Structure 1
Amino acid sequence: MIDKDLGLWYYLTDSPGISGRLRVLPEDFEVIENASRTYSDGPYLICSLTRKNWDQHRAIKAIATGLGISHQRIGFAGTKDKRAVTTQYISIYKCTREDIARLTIPGITLTALGTSQHPITLGDLESNTFAIRIRNSSGRDLNASLDEFRKRVSQGIPNYVGYQRFGVTRPVTHHIGFEILKGDFQEAVRVMIGKPGSHMEEHEQEGRACYFETEDAAHCLHLLPPRLSLERSVLHYLVSHPKDYLGAIRQLPRTLRSMYVSAVQSWIFNTTVSMRIRDGRDLFDPEIGDRLLWPDGRTDMITYATIHAARVQVKRGRCSLALALPGGSFTPGPGTDDQNIQSVLEQQGITPDMFETVSKVLDTTFAGSVRPVIMKTDLSYEIADTDPLIRFTLLPGQYATTVLRELMKGDPLHMI
């Protein structure tokens, strides 16, 4: 049911999967961000941030609070998993090594590396390297299953946007985004605070249910546990500014605000890839009307005159078959994928001008882009105490859970 709601309708492979559980311990899921860094005199302190079992947005807020600064002065290149051990780069505006040395937050280690003239921004990374242990896997011959999958993923699997973009226990991010796009900020806040999820502790469940039913910010603020600091910041704002729902949303970090709308784009991408698979259209062999993405970011629309050359270039790995992520600049072409995207937008009551409007409202940009249909990686593994330990590296915007979903074919709740 969760997969269906997130647009993840299919697997590409026919194997039964090895099942198992991820993140039994945070140490089972390690992520290291890879990026080339150069340093010079400048106002931005570049740090290595290692965190264990910390949500990224809450970690950034905790660091900002510890330093006595606004969280908006902290920049990062990508969002990493919570229940994991992650290492990434961040930049902090007008912060010193001495400030960092005095900061102590359990589960967080900050190491100052140097200064720069420029902050770190979203997308400013080269790749992420993963080392992931799968516990309680099944299957008669794990080595054979892993060898078969290693060959498959080196050729390519669907480049679905993974679970963490939407949530699994509360897969609501894209639903919030839909309401924001439609300009219904009251409903967006109601879903953000109140929509229920699974595996919630009693106080969280009670607090969310209270707001979903009553929208009484003051009362629900007393019910939500302190760890839900982002939700509580929205409620605090509504207590002092009743009915200013847009203002409440704007209290959230800009990266989080933009994530709601980008989750809509991600859902549309997943759904369109699934529609292509459903209709028996190849993910590796382009058709007339398909889009191509080149390494330099250039895109082309395949025509009758270019179809032969396009198939040669895709086969040689010089470009990728891609789908549009609709935004304010989206104009559907004649291809089947673009027509499917347009159909999905119409079914959801979304128009391209809504992306332009919300860009101004949220002070961010949703112009649209393109995303490759397939993802590839070189995967290695070892069996340690009957548990597979899998290592691979992915490009920015690709999800480890997408790789593992295709391999495990298990319960999504076992992958968070």
Structure 2
Amino acid sequence: MPLASEAWLDRYIGMNYYITDCEGIDGKVKQNLEDFIVEEVLIDGQVVPTSITGKPLPRIVGKPGPWVWMIIEKRGIDAITLSLILSRKLGVSPRDISFGGFKDAVAVTSQIVSVRGISINDVPSDFGRDIKVLSAVGMDRAFITGNIWGNEFTIRVRNIDISKRDSINCVVNQLMERGLPTYYGYQRFGLKRPNSHVIGRHIILGEFESAVSELLAHAYPMEPPRIREIREFIARTGDYSKALELMPRGYRYYPERAVLRQLSSNPRDFVNALRKLPRELLILYVESYQSYLFNLALSERIGRGLPINRALPGDMIALLDEHGLPTKHVIYVNESMVDKVNELIVKGRAIPIGHLVGYNTKFPPGPQSDIEIDVLKREGVDLSMFRVKSIPELSIKGSYRSLSVKPIIININLVGNELNIVFRLPRGNYATALLRELMKSKQPEIDFT
């Protein structure tokens, strides 16, 4: 039987099972920002380093054009906040800012960010003590997701249970054999406020008042007491004007303040209140719900004892490119070809996939589609709902995602009761999915913050 998670947060975001059945080593991550280092890996294999690891800067040849590529190191800042800070300080629209992927907020991270409409002379050496610019170069195009392979993680897990140290090799060996589930990790949904998917579900269902209520008035236990009091005040009184006075200023509570400002003058205008948020954030809410549905379906597949790194008749696979990343070439696997397909998977040339559902999703007959359809039925969601009529720009067609990935373990070092691990994952994958298998925390909302 697959090992079920005992953590409420895991179940809340759809990660119901582990793929490994070894004991967890417990422990805590992110006790310091330096315990969790994320460095972007470019498609050519070059690493975009932080100042901590001492790796050389990548060699990037600039080209004349309207963009500037900056290598940015940030500490304890999420991607949306980074975009808002750069927009304000450089005097450009957030739409003129582009990056290859989101990075962990509670971490030290490095990545390339491109900005249109500025020159290198406009770029300061830092944007405050938590955002440094390590280098900058002019370029003729934006930096996009296709420019990166993935990320290299340098992570320290403190206070592990030394009596269970043999579980480290057990977990790693099973992950190599069974594949690491490509769950969307905690940071996709939030640790202190794990509700981005809840807001997204309300948007999909057209429940805009409920979406606003979840954003403003639902207090979570891990939030600061003062913020919980303000949220409870909103839930109790609906006094948006007073709540705007009470809500702290600053980037962290920018979404709440933007929505409260609109509701202060138009208390029932929930759609336009949401529209006051950056489009990127609204899309993130909807995609978080899409991610939650994927997690549920992947959990169900694991729970049924079906493989995630091997194809079954009726599954779909994606061919992998020369970098080992999924292409758009999707193949439906029938009985006659399943053995050849699995040979391709073993050779690292293909991978089983599942749907990231949207209004254009088509379900071919097969075990994965059956699971996904069951998940949608339980959620009371129809594919047509992913056309968001009141906010059309939030509509999503749907796509695919690999069911598993094989992590590249670079180094594992155990010193006393601290585990130091360095590994790489292709873009779109979460380090916490691997750490979760190692630690098997019963309180990830505490152990991962």
TM score, norm. by length of structure 2:
0.87
Q: 186-195 vs 218-227, which deviates more?
A: 218-227
CA distance in 2, matches of 1:183, 1:141: 48
- Match of residue 10, structure 2, among 3, 15, 18: 3
Matches of 2:143 and 2:264, distance apart in 1: 34
Which range is displaced more, 166-175 or 33-42? Answer: 33-42
Aligned residue in 1 for 2:55 = none
Residue of structure 1 in register with 2:272 after alignment: 247
Match of 2:404 in 1: 374
Alignment of 1:219-238 (within 5 A): 219-227=242-250, 228-238=253-263
1:46 alignment partner in structure 2: 69
CA contact under 8 A between 1:150 and 1:378: conserved in structure 2?
no
Matches of 1:311 and 1:290 in 2, distance apart? 11
Match for 2:174: what amino acid?
Answer: R
Instruction: Give me the whole-angstrom Cα distance separating, in 2, the residues matched to 1:309 and 1:191.
Output: 48
Deviation at 1:214, TM superposition (A): 3.4
Distance 1:63 1:279, change over 3 A: same
Give the secondary-structure state (helix, strand or coil) at the position aligned to 1:132.
strand
Give distance in 1, aligned partners of 2:307 and 2:169. 24
From 19, 31, 37, the equivalent of 1:30 is: 37
Write the letter of the residue equivalent to 1:153: L
- Structure-2 residue corresponding to 1:266: 291
In the aligned structure 2, how far is the partner of 1:191 from the partner of 1:141?
40
Partner in structure 2 of residue 293 of structure 1: 318
Letter in 2 for 1:132: I
1:147 pairs with one of 169, 174, 179: 169
User: What is the alpha-carbon distance in structure 1 between the residues aligned to residue 135 and residue 260 of structure 2?
Assistant: 35
What is the aligned counterpart of 1:138 among 158, 161, 170? Answer: 161
- C-alpha displacement of 1:314: 2.3
Matched with 2:421 is 390
Aligned runs of 1:158-169 on 2, under 5 Å? 158-169=181-192
Q: Secondary structure at the match of 1:31?
A: strand
* SS in structure 1 at match of 2:242: helix
**Do 2:193 and 2:223's aligned partners in 1 also have CA atoms closer than 8 Å?**
no
What is the distance in 2 between the residues matched to 1:182 and 1:339? 22
Q: Per the alignment, in what secondary structure is the counterpart of residue 163 of structure 2?
A: coil
| Aligned with residue 304 of structure 2, among 267, 273, 279 | 279
**Residue in 1 aligned with 2:26?**
19
Shift of 1:90: 0.7
Q: Which amino acid aligns with 1:260?
A: Y
Q: TM-score, normalised by structure 1?
A: 0.93
RMSD: 2.0
Deviating more after overlay: 281-290 vs 3-12:
281-290
Q: Given the superposition, is the C-alpha separation of residues 124 and 102 from structure 1 closer, same or farther in structure 2, using an over 3 Å criterion? A: closer
Relative to 1, partners in 2 of residues 1:72 and 1:237: Cα closer, same or farther, differing over 3 Å? farther
- Tell me the residue number matched to 2:444: 412
Partner secondary structure for residue 20 of structure 1: strand
With over 3 angstroms needed to count, the CA separation of the structure-2 counterparts of 1:119 and 1:244, relative to structure 1, is farther
Distance in 1 (alpha carbons) for counterparts of 2:218 and 2:143: 33
Q: Secondary structure at the match of 2:104?
A: coil
* 5+ long unaligned stretches in structure 2: 1-7, 44-59, 321-326
Q: Quote the offset at 1:131 in angstroms.
A: 0.1
Shift of 1:24: 0.4
SS in 2 for 1:16: coil
Tell me, what secondary structure is at the counterpart of 1:101?
coil
Write the letter of the residue equivalent to 2:24. G
Question: Counterpart amino acid of 2:311?
Answer: P
Compared with structure 1, are the counterparts of its residues 308 and 141 closer, same or farther at alpha carbon in structure 2 (3 Å cutoff)?
closer
Aligned residues: 414
CA contact (8 A) 1:18 1:138 kept: yes
